[in-house]
Amino acid sequence: MDAIHIRGGNALFGETKIQGSKNAALPVMAAALLIEDVCMIENCPRISDVHHMQELLESIGCKVRHTNSTMTIDARNISQDTVAGENVKGMRSSITLLGAMLGRVGEATMDYPGGCVIGERPIDIHLNALRRMGVAIYEKEGSFTARAKNLEGAVISFPTSSVGATENVILAAVMAKGVTVLQNAAKEPEIVALCEFLREAGAVIEGIGGPVLIIQGGHKLHGICYRIPADRIVAGTYLMSVLGAGGHIFLEGAPIAQMRSMLRIAEDIGAEITISREGINVIAQEHKRAVPYVKTEVYPGFPTDMQSPLMSALTTAHGVSVLEETIFEDRFHIVEQLKKMGAHIEQKGRRQAVIRGVESLLGCEVTAQELRGGAALVIAGAMALGETIVRNRHFIERGYEDICRDYRNLGVNIYTA
């Protein structure tokens, strides 16, 4: 139970449609809380993180329906100011409800958020930025209360780029009195999606997609219908799979413009990439080249969420590859698991891994410890000879609607058990 079985070792052929983006859907769901009206969110992925966010919104009083891929959120009546429970502790993105609650009711009591075991993941940048907007924070063991009598616009310069902190301040700023200027804001496509959603709902935001955002707060927001963009990380996962296993696949609806850094690396490895309005066509050779050095970076650099999937693909590349993780300090959990499959990887400290390509991986039982690492083990399973069993499927289900369905579309023998 809670496992994925893969009989790997064959090249991938076929096409698969890319689901809506987890990291865009979650803050957009939080943003719906700001709107005393009904919002429709189309292409909303059916994944456990979205389901948990739905439960949190319902616990605050929202009426939420998720039918097929459309979610309807009715936030006309909010009943509570406490965001608590296991869903907060287990899901990092629950922190975006902080900015949304402050914007909507001026107060929130929350448990400290949890998330994947990929590093410390503090929330100091979120809290310090909100303090500048007039928010008082009272910390207790395991939880805190944030309160703003008058939420006020401010000039906020982030010390480092943070996706979640940028989202939180945007959510508070659209409801604040006056203008908020965000400097060194995160530029990830998921921030753009959040800003577009809010702008369509009536917020005034300038500089979308850039490092400086200017938000005029206080505009009344109204219900809208918004379509979540395709998930660049899910598309990247299947891209890395075909690089690893070889073959010819089509990624229908993949967000090409958001995937430039991944596509450049795919070409360096030796894949032939053709893009069209409909998606990305990838032809990958069985014999692939190592990449001398790749480091993870904030957007538009190579994403940290793709680091483990790339590592799996490189385990059988010809030559030596070096991966450096610059965003999170503990994101090499899969190294030991890949070594069990025969990979030759040397970890240097917590930030660098040196991968010497081997002839092939061998299937065995491995354990997922977090979302993207789990997906990377499925990639390794598709590449490996024999059967691979990936334990802890629930981590993967946080972000992938049905990873087995998608791989079966690409001809992989894979099932849950």
301 in contact with ligand EPZ (CB under 6 A) = no
- Which position's Cβ is nearest ligand EPZ? 164
304 in contact with ligand EPZ (CB under 6 A) = yes
Closer residue to ligand EPZ, CB minimum distance, 4 or 24: 24
As beta bridge partners, residue 355 has 321, 345
- Extended strands (E) in 233-385: 247-252, 272-276, 279-284, 294-295, 320-324, 344-348, 352-356, 365-367
**How many angstroms separate the CA atoms of 378 and 369, rounded?**
13
Enter the tokens of residue 288. 């692939």
139 in contact with ligand EPZ (CB under 6 A) = no
Closer residue to ligand EPZ, CB minimum distance, 117 or 275: 117
Contact 263, 235 (CB under 8 A): no
Taking CB under 6 A as the binding criterion, the range among 31-39, 76-84, 184-192, 349-357 that sits at the site for ligand EPZ is 184-192
202 DSSP assignment: T
Taking CB under 6 A as the binding criterion, the range among 19-27, 77-85, 198-206, 332-340 that sits at the site for ligand EPZ is 19-27
Taking CB under 6 A as the binding criterion, the range among 185-193, 268-276, 341-349, 381-389 that sits at the site for ligand EPZ is 185-193
Q: Determine whether 44 is an active site residue.
A: no
Closer residue to ligand EPZ, CB minimum distance, 23 or 180: 23
Pairing of β 38-42 and β 225-227 = parallel
**How many angstroms separate the CA atoms of 319 and 342, rounded?**
16
Closer residue to ligand EPZ, CB minimum distance, 127 or 284: 127
Closer residue to ligand EPZ, CB minimum distance, 238 or 328: 328
224 in contact with ligand EPZ (CB under 6 A) = no
259 in contact with ligand EPZ (CB under 6 A) = no
Write down the catalytic residue from 116, 195, 364, 404. Answer: 116
Enter the tokens of residue 355. 């991968």
Which of 52, 126, 288, 351 is in the footprint of ligand EPZ by CB under 6 A? 126
How long is the chain? 417
Closer residue to ligand EPZ, CB minimum distance, 163 or 198: 163
- The interface with ligand EPZ within residues 153-172 (CB under 6 A) comprises 160, 162-165
- The interface with ligand EPZ within residues 66-95 (CB under 6 A) comprises 92-93
- The interface with ligand EPZ within residues 393-412 (CB under 6 A) comprises 399
Q: Is the dihedral of CA 59, 64, 65, 70 positive or negative?
A: negative
Site string for ligand EPZ, 188-207 (x = CB under 6 A): x-x-----------------
Enter the tokens of residue 78. 């909010």
Q: Of the candidates 347, 251, 262, 246, which has an alpha carbon nearest to the alpha carbon of residue 307?
A: 262
**How many angstroms separate the CA atoms of 104 and 375, rounded?**
36
116 in contact with ligand EPZ (CB under 6 A) = yes
- Ramachandran class of 222: left when φ > 0, alpha when ψ lies in -120 to 50, beta otherwise: beta
No. of helices (H) and no. of strands (E), the chain: 14, 24
**How many angstroms separate the CA atoms of 73 and 35, rounded?**
9
Question: Catalytic site residues?
Answer: 116
Q: Note the residues at the interface with ligand EPZ (CB under 6 A).
A: 22-23, 26, 92-93, 116, 119-126, 160, 162-165, 186, 188, 190, 304-305, 327-328, 371-372, 399
